[in-house]
């Protein structure tokens, strides 16, 4: 094989493996290097599609931002669709939970409840997720979705279960 040829059967180089929290903090600060990786998939496909951006992350918490526009995210009443707001909150909660997940672990939402407080038409939204109670395998989260003027437009709560060992395989 020539020096410039790539062996299709060779394992892909992993680079430097980081814990999820360190990986995301570096991504947010702009200091993540191309060779740095984590065991979870970031950015997620759905967040890329919907243009969600992680703007703040801590141990167990996360804030995501999106520019909402009824031309892209609208419902039949002409406001931003509630499902879009729920997906934003679910992404923030999932990001928050992932910061505490190690290799060989995964997690899944087992409950999600949204309360819509006021309509949204267009503008920047922030989804701020934080744990409200943490156990060994079950964690309860709250997420507020806030408009640029500081007004809360929806609150979402979720129960997340941590999976380990065989239960985490393939997730």
What is the per-residue pLDDT across 36-72, written as a single tens digit (0 to 9) for each? 999 999 999 999 999 999 999 999 999 999 999 999 9
Label each residue of the chain as H, E or C: CCCCCCCCCCCCCCCEECCHHHHHHHHHHCCCCCCEECCCCCCCHHHHHHCCEEEEEECCEEEEEEEEEHHHHECCCCCECHHHHHHHHHHHHHHHHHCCCCCCEEEEEEEEEEEECCCCCEEEEEEEEEEEEECCCEEEEEEEEEECCCCEEEEEEEEEEEEEHHHHCCC
> Cβ distance 88 to 62 under 8 Å?
no
The predicted-structure confidence for 18-29, as pLDDT tens digits, reads as follows 999 999 999 999
Among 127, 120, 124, smallest CA distance to 148 is for 124
CATH number belonging to the domain at 16-168, selected among 3.10.129.10, 3.30.40.230, 3.30.9.10, 3.40.1010.10: 3.10.129.10
The predicted-structure confidence for 61-104, as pLDDT tens digits, reads as follows 999 999 999 999 999 999 999 999 999 999 999 999 999 998 88
Kindly list the domain boundaries of the chain, sorted by start residue: 16-168
Q: How many beta carbons lie within 10 A of that of residue 96, not counting itself? A: 27
pLDDT score recorded for residue 3: 42
């Amino acid at each position: 094989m020539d020096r410039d040829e790539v062996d299709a059967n060779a394992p892909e180089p992993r680079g430097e493996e980081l814990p999820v929290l360190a990986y995301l903090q570096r991504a947010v600060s702009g200091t993540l290097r191309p060779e740095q990786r984590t065991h979870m998939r970031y950015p997620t496909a759905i967040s890329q599609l919907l243009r969600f951006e992680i703007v703040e992350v801590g141990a167990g918490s996360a804030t995501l931002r999106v520019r909402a526009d009824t031309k892209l995210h609208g419902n039949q009443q002409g406001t931003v669709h509630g499902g879009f707001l729920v997906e934003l909150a679910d992404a923030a909660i999932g990001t928050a939970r992932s910061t505490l997940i190690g290799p060989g672990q995964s997690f899944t939402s087992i409950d999600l409840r949204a309360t819509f407080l006021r309509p949204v038409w267009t503008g920047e939204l922030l989804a701020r997720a934080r744990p409200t109670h943490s156990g060994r395998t079950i964690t309860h989260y709250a997420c507020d979705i806030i408009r640029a003027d500081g007004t809360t437009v929806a609150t979402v709560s979720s129960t997340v279960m941590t999976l380990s060992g065989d239960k985490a395989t393939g997730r």
